[in-house]
């Protein structure tokens, strides 16, 4: 646990913002913008009828599926591109061009190809997280220090041993960094994708609450839940960074 | 120590007319110009020279990691094509894999060899260099001196005929470096390896080598050869060591 003195400033700022929010809503006599307390009761209402868990589950399912598919493609592809010069020379320019295209720009194409359903957001998540993971994996292979590759060559080990005991463990920390970036982007994108196309998910919750009777308390509740889950996903990846197989990278 | 090959046997290491230059943005830089020497089986030869004279490039070529522009290197009479576990390189930066434990590092070179008791062999060498009890430690948990010991042990496990040592102890402090030298001499007395040592430390060269080659700089050639006819254990403070040291330093253009 962090000492109280370290978390105190953050808590104080948080409380001040909350108080300011309350004060502004009270002072402007707004009928649409909710007070913090209305957000709490709104959230309890959603949790009570079970729809909150459905939205969270739908969003997490889409992120989980899209992200896993992206990982299954990005890691082997990144290792191959990093190791084989020709593969890098051929594929890297294409990926560098596709990478800056916002996943949101893919939405019309996703709807055209996959229609409105679960496949479209999963596709968008795949597109958004596959590139950062490829880039990180390639960079990981390219930055393996020559002294380690030389040592492996010196002992004359097989390709299999070279990959299993040198290349993969050397790149693993970078792969995990790529996964953390990829998961972060995936979470950003799922919400955006759900705002447009679907009947469930946290993104849908936000847009639907606005459309169906200006329930801004539920809009803000949705936003806060997205933030909290995003934070939790990031924490989860940080736990992966602390695993024994990659600890050497941070211990030096 | 055998320093000639009158018995007709090919020398363990034979370097013939090796030359190497690098092309940079500003033209061609000659690093090595016509280097020839040989090292007999069981002999320890040290190469000293000013920094930047291409010592490490020379070592890279002899160990098979780089190719010379001209000339050739032969190990036991066979031309060298690529690095092999016949000769293991130990360099200043070290190359103990940080993601493997000490034991896994020591067993690394045994991969692909099928025999019982790999782990026992690894542990035997860990104990030999004084790392008993640290077999399951990761490199980042070890001190700089212990890392060097691990690297030495990893090389010894595969029973190489040659140890290529490129400034092996230069990153250690003076006391530790001296300690590691004594350790190396103890091991060499037990297991007769052929050693090629590159160093900028003249005293280190005299301490361990049977023969010291002095390199000139730009272009790099072998400028002089000194035999070290001093029996082990060598006392660094003795007149014989100090006189030789002064002679070699004079050759390098330094009065001491």
Mean pLDDT in residue range B13-18: 94
pLDDT at B17 > cutoff 50? yes
Question: Mutation test of the interface with chain A: which of B95, B101, B154, B156, choosing the one with the most A Cβ atoms within 10 A?
Answer: B95
Kind of pairing between the strands at B70-75 and B13-24: antiparallel
CA-wise closest residue to A146 among A136, A154, A157: A154
How does the average pLDDT of chain B come out, rounded?
89
How does the average pLDDT of chain A come out, rounded?
90
Of B65, B98, B111, Cβ closest to residue A248? B98
Provide the β-strand partners of residue B163. B88, B195
Residue pair B129/B179 in contact by the 8 Å Cβ criterion: no
Residues of A with CB under 8 A from a CB of B: 147-148, 150-158, 161, 165-166, 169-170, 172, 245-249, 251-252
Q: How far apart are CA A92 and CA A86, in angstroms?
A: 10
CA distance, residue B207 to nearest chain A CA (Å): 27
Cβ–Cβ contacts within 10 Å for residue B147, how many? Answer: 20
Contact A148 B95 (CB under 8 A): yes
Ramachandran angles phi, psi of B38, nearest 5°: -135, 160
Read off the pLDDT of residues A11-33 as tens digits, 9 standing for 90 and up: 999 999 999 999 999 999 888 89
Q: How far apart are CA B29 and CA B27, in angstroms?
A: 7
Mean pLDDT in residue range B133-158: 92
Q: How far apart are CA A172 and CA A174, in angstroms?
A: 5
pLDDT at B215 > cutoff 60? yes
CB-based burial, A120-145: b 16+ in 10 Å, e otherwise: bbbbbbbbbbbbbbbbbbbebbeebe
pLDDT at B77 > cutoff 80? yes
What pLDDT score does A1 carry? 59
pLDDT at B154 > cutoff 90? yes
Residues of B in contact with A153 (CB under 8 A): 65, 82-83
Mean pLDDT in residue range B49-69: 90
CA-wise closest residue to A121 among A191, A225, A210, A73: A191
Mean pLDDT in residue range B158-186: 91
The residues, any chain, with a CB within 8 Å of residue A98's CB and separated by 6 or more, are A131
CA distance, residue B112 to nearest chain A CA (Å): 7
Contact B97 A158 (CB under 8 A): no
Question: Mutation test of the interface with chain A: which of B67, B98, B147, choosing the one with the most A Cβ atoms within 10 A?
Answer: B98
What percent of chain B has pLDDT above 70? Answer: 97
Of A150, A161, A169, Cβ closest to residue B99? A169
Of A150, A157, A251, Cβ closest to residue B95? A150
Of A154, A157, A172, Cβ closest to residue B111? A157
Residues of B in contact with A157 (CB under 8 A): 108-109, 111-112
What pLDDT score does B150 carry? 94
The residues, any chain, with a CB within 8 Å of residue B238's CB and separated by 6 or more, are B230
Contact B112 A157 (CB under 8 A): yes
Mean pLDDT in residue range A125-136: 94
Q: What is the DSSP letter of B213?
A: E
Contact B88 A147 (CB under 8 A): no
Q: What angle do CA B76, B169, B80 make, to 5 degrees?
A: 20
What percent of chain A has pLDDT above 70? Answer: 98
The HSE-up count of residue A222 (CA atoms within 13 Å, CB side) is 24
What's the distance, Cα to Cα, between the start and end of chain A in Å? 24
Q: How far apart are CA A177 and CA A174, in angstroms?
A: 5
Contact A156 B85 (CB under 8 A): yes
Instruction: Pick the residue from chain B with its C-alpha nearest to A168.
Output: B99
SS3 content of chain B, % helix, strand, coil (to 5): 30, 25, 45
Q: How far apart are CA A205 and CA A223, in angstroms?
A: 10
Q: Phi-psi bin for B112: left (phi > 0), alpha (psi -120 to 50), beta?
A: left
Residue B37 in tokens: 């020497």
Of B65, B111, B140, Cβ closest to residue A252? B140
What pLDDT score does B22 carry? 86
Read off the pLDDT of residues B28-56 as tens digits, 9 standing for 90 and up: 888 888 999 999 999 999 999 887 788 88
* Residue A252 pLDDT level (bands cut at 50, 70, 90): low
Instruction: Pick the residue from chain B with its C-alpha nearest to A159.
Output: B112
Read off the pLDDT of residues B186-202 as tens digits, 9 standing for 90 and up: 989 888 899 999 999 99
Contact B89 A150 (CB under 8 A): yes
The residues, any chain, with a CB within 8 Å of residue B42's CB and separated by 6 or more, are B1, B2, B12, B192, B193, B194
CA distance, residue B213 to nearest chain A CA (Å): 25
- What angle do helix axes B144-157 and B174-190 make, rounded to 10 degrees? 20
Read off the pLDDT of residues A170-228 as tens digits, 9 standing for 90 and up: 999 999 999 999 999 999 998 888 877 678 899 999 998 888 888 899 999 999 999 99
A29 burial (CB, 10 Å; 0-12 / 13-18 / 19+) is exposed
What pLDDT score does A2 carry? 66
What pLDDT score does B2 carry? 45
pLDDT at B3 > cutoff 80? no
CA distance, residue B62 to nearest chain A CA (Å): 12
Q: How far apart are CA A117 and CA B53, in angstroms?
A: 68
What is the three-class DSSP state of B226?
strand
Ramachandran angles phi, psi of B191, nearest 5°: -120, 115
Q: What is the dihedral of CA B22, B27, B33, B39, to 10 degrees?
A: -10
């Amino acid at each position: 646990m962090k000492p109280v003195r370290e978390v105190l400033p953050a808590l104080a700022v948080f409380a001040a913002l909350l108080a300011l929010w309350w004060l502004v809503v009270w002072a402007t006599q707004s009928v649409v913008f909710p007070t913090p307390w209305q957000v709490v009761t709104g959230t309890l209402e959603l949790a009570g009828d079970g729809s909150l868990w459905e939205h969270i589950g739908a969003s997490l399912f889409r992120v989980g599926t899209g992200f896993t598919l992206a990982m299954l493609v990005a890691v082997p592809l990144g290792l191959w591109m990093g190791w084989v010069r020709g593969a890098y020379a051929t594929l890297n320019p294409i990926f560098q061009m596709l990478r800056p295209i916002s996943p949101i720009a893919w939405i019309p194409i996703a709807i055209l190809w996959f229609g409105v359903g679960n496949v479209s957001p999963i596709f968008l998540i795949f597109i958004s997280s596959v590139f950062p993971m490829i880039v990180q994996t390639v960079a990981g292979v390219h930055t393996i220090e020559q002294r380690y590759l030389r040592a492996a060559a010196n002992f004359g080990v097989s390709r299999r041993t070279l990959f299993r005991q040198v290349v993969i463990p050397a790149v693993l920390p970078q792969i995990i960094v790529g996964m953390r970036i990829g998961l972060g982007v995936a979470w950003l994108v799922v919400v955006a994708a759900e705002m447009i196309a679907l009947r469930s998910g946290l993104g849908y919750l936000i847009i639907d609450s606005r459309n169906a009777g200006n329930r801004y308390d539920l809009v803000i509740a949705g936003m806060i839940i997205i933030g909290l889950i995003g934070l939790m996903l990031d924490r989860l990846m940080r736990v992966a960074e602390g695993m024994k197989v990659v600890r050497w990278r941070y211990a030096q | 120590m055998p320093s000639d090959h009158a018995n007709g046997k090919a020398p363990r290491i034979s370097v013939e007319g090796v030359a190497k230059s690098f092309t940079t943005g500003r033209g061609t830089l000659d690093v090595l110009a016509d280097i020839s020497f040989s090292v007999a089986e069981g002999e320890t030869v040290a190469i000293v020279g000013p920094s930047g004279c291409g010592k490490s490039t020379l070592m890279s070529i002899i160990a098979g990691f780089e190719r010379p522009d001209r000339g050739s290197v032969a190990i036991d009479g066979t031309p060298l094509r690529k690095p092999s576990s016949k000769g293991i390189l130990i360099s200043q930066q070290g190359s103990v894999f940080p993601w493997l434990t000490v034991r896994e590092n020591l067993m690394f070179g045994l991969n692909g060899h099928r025999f019982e008791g790999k782990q026992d062999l690894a542990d035997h060498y860990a104990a030999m260099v004084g790392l008993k009890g640290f077999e399951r430690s990761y490199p980042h948990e070890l001190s700089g001196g212990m890392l060097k010991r691990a690297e030495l042990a990893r090389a010894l496990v595969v029973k190489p005929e040659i140890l290529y040592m490129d400034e092996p102890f230069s990153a250690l402090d003076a006391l530790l470096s001296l300690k590691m030298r004594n350790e190396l001499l103890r091991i060499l007395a037990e297991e007769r390896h052929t050693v090629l040592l590159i160093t900028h430390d003249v005293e280190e060269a005299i301490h361990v080598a049977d023969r010291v080659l002095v390199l000139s700089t730009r272009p790099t050639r072998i400028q002089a050869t000194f035999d070290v006819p001093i029996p082990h254990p060598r006392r660094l403070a003795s007149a014989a060591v100090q006189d030789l040291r002064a002679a070699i330093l004079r050759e390098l253009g330094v009065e001491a």
